[in-house]
Amino acid sequence: MSTHTTQLDHVILLVPYKDLHTPPPWITSNFTLSPGGIHADAKTENRLILFADGTYLELIAFIDDDPAKRKGHWWDKPFGIVDFALTTPKDRTFDLAGLRERLKHSGSGVGYAEPVAGGRRREDGLEVQWEVTFPVGAERGEVPFWCHDVTARERRVAITEGSTKHPCRAVGMSRVTVEVDPGSVERVGSALAAITGGSRRDPDGYAVGNPISAEGQSVDSWVGLRPLDQGGVGHRLRVTLRLPREAKGGHDAIKEHVGDVPAKVRAETSTPWSLGEYAA
């Protein structure tokens, strides 16, 4: 099992409300969608793309695309990949005080607020509860937020053999890449090193674990950091999917659009996976 004290939990893809209920072909031809529900604030609704490594891509939309529901919300952003979350292994306690201390010494100016309760009702009526811990001193999506379950994780992330079999053959998310303007690379890099416990010298980025690992081996995911292309402003997130090694060649980027924004998701071959090797 992974020895990482941080794990990749999920990535958030903001979509138009109609795409949540009538997904476009680029979603249905590549992924199996699992039910989600309406969040406790009654502003957003989601569906999930679950992966065999325990991570998931959350398709989230503001109900009826209502501007009043968007206003002041954490994810009042253009459509596309807007944020990502880490979590803590089940057998460990989230050390918020220690995290804050590491960030204080990083000189990044990034910190974390107190946890906030969240939840949603599943389509089968079950209540799902969690706590989210959001960053301060950084734009949302520059650094991750944290998601920790109050009810059983299996209630929020209902992994089954059928739910994790996708036409594109993805078994997980191997990388979340944060792209920032060149002047922010040093600051964001210092924060990510403190958050993940990784080294800024690692060319692959900052290693994190996954909620479910292959029996007898640990497969890392990565949080990458790179400067935006010349002329870019703000920041941008990209996701790289993991394919089983026997998948020939991999896939080109899924160059489709979410609203008016390109949703670029790449896939690459990696370690072979068998669902039978996993335990929830």
Task: Give the separation between CA 196 and CA 214, rounded to whole angstroms.
Answer: 21
Q: Which domain holds residue 225?
A: 7-277
Q: How many domains does the chain have?
A: 1
In angstroms, how far is CA 130 from the centroid of its own chain?
Answer: 15
More confident residue, 45 or 260: 45
Task: Report if residue 136 sits inside a domain.
Answer: yes
Task: Report if residue 237 sits inside a domain.
Answer: yes
With cut-offs at 50, 70 and 90, classify the pLDDT of residue 199: confident
Q: What amino acid occupies position 196?
A: T
In the chain, % of residues over pLDDT 90: 60
Provide the mean pLDDT of the chain. 84
Residue 5's pLDDT is what?
Answer: 86
Task: For residue 203, give every residue at least 6 positions away whose Cβ sits within 8 Å of its Cβ, in sequence order, or none.
Answer: none
Residue 279's pLDDT is what?
Answer: 19
Task: Report if residue 128 sits inside a domain.
Answer: yes
Task: Report if residue 2 sits inside a domain.
Answer: no
Task: Report if residue 222 sits inside a domain.
Answer: yes
The mean pLDDT value for 112-121 works out to 95
Task: Give the separation between CA 89 and CA 110, rounded to whole angstroms.
Answer: 23
Q: Tens digits of per-residue pLDDT, 151-184?
A: 999 999 999 889 999 998 899 998 999 999 999 9
Q: Give bridge partners of residue 103 from the DSSP assignment.
A: none
Q: Tens digits of per-residue pLDDT, 1-18?
A: 456 889 999 999 999 999
Q: Does the pLDDT of residue 97 top 90, yes or no?
A: yes
With cut-offs at 50, 70 and 90, classify the pLDDT of residue 149: very high
Task: Report if residue 131 sits inside a domain.
Answer: yes
Helix (H, G, I), strand (E, B) or coil at 103: helix
Task: Report if residue 1 sits inside a domain.
Answer: no
Q: Does the pLDDT of residue 57 top 90, yes or no?
A: yes
